[in-house]
Amino acid sequence: MGTDPWVGTWRPHRARGPIAAMYGSPGPKYGLPSNTGYTGHDPSKNRAPAYSIASRHIKFVEDCSPGPGYLVPPHMTMRGKDGIPAYSLYGRPKDISPFNTPGPGTYSPERSGKSAYYSPPMYSMAARTKGLSSDQSPGPAAYMLPSMLGPKVVNKSSAPYYSVTGRSKTGSFHEDLQKTPGPGTYRVVDPGVYKYRPPHYSMTARTFMPSDTTQKPGPGAHSPEKVLLNKRQAPNFSFGIKHSDYLAPLIVDVAD
C-alpha cells in the first residue's frame, strides 16, 4: 500500500457545469410557464376559451323624461302651488349651543406618556415568528412510498388473500326458491267473528245503589237513659232570683 490517501484516479475537483446542489430553488426546470389557467399561460401553446360570469352592465338611458304615466297633484298649476296657506304644529327647536372651547384644566400633560417624555425600552415575551425559508425544495420526508403489504402493490406480486364475509342466501341450502309465504305470515281470524262469541268479563269499579244522601241517626245517637216520660224524676233544685225586702208588692185590685 502507498502513502496516497486517495483510492483510484478520482480526485476532488470543481464541477464542469451547474448542478442542483448549487441552487436553493427547485432548479431551472420549473422556469417554464404553466399550460393551465388564464393568467401566466405559455404563449407558445394554444389556450382554450375562458368564460366568466360578470355583473349586468348599466343600460344607457336615452329618454330621461318621466313620460305620461306620472301623476300631477291636483293643487299644482302652471304658476305654482295653489291653495290657502297651511300651518302645522311642531315642537320647539333647540337653541344652537355655542362652541365650547376647552380650558386649561381640560388637558392632562401628565398622561401624555411616550409622546412627551423619554421612556426606557420595554421588552415583552412573544411567540417565535416563523422565518422565511429560501429553500423550497421538498425534503426526504415529503415523499410517500407505497405499502408493500396487501394486494395493491404497484410493481410486486402479492399472494392470494381471503376475507370472512357474511353468509349469502343466494345458492345456499336455506334459499327459498318458491318464495311462498309460511304459516306465520297469515293473520289468525278471531273465532268470535264467524262463531258464537263467548261472554267477556272486565274488572270495573264498585257501583253503589242510588239512595238518599241525608244523614240519619244510628243506634248510638239515641240516649234512652235520659228519657223521663215513663219514669219518676228526682227533685231538681236551682238557684232563683234574689228578692229585696224593700221591693213593693204587686197590687192588682185597687179600691176606689
pLDDT in tens, 64-120: 666 666 677 788 888 888 888 888 888 888 877 777 788 888 888 788 777 777 778
**C-alpha cell belonging to residue 249:** 208588692
**252 or 41: which leads in pLDDT:** 41
E strand segments, 38-106: 76-77, 80-81
pLDDT single digits (tens) 2-35? 566 777 787 878 778 777 666 666 555 556 788 8
Q: What is the CA radius of gyration of the chain?
A: 61
Cβ contacts of residue 175 below 8 Å, gap of 6+? 169
Comparing CA positions, the residue from 115, 119, 98 lying closest to residue 107 is: 115
The size of the chain, in residues, is 256
Comparing CA positions, the residue from 135, 136, 137, 159 lying closest to residue 148 is: 159
Using the CB atoms, write b or e for 46-61: b if 16+ within 10 Å. eeeeeeeeeeeeeeee
Cα(146)–Cα(165) distance, integer angstroms: 27
pTM greater than 0.95: no
Cβ contacts of residue 45 below 8 Å, gap of 6+? 35
93 close to 85: Cβ distance less than 8 angstroms: no
Cα(128)–Cα(64) distance, integer angstroms: 64
Percent of the chain at pLDDT above 90? 0
Position 142 confidence tier, pLDDT thresholds 50, 70, 90 = confident
50 close to 42: Cβ distance less than 8 angstroms: no
Using DSSP, state whether 115 is helix, strand or coil.
Answer: helix
**252 or 201: which leads in pLDDT:** 201
pLDDT above 60 for 244: yes
Position 135 confidence tier, pLDDT thresholds 50, 70, 90 = low
Position 249 confidence tier, pLDDT thresholds 50, 70, 90 = low
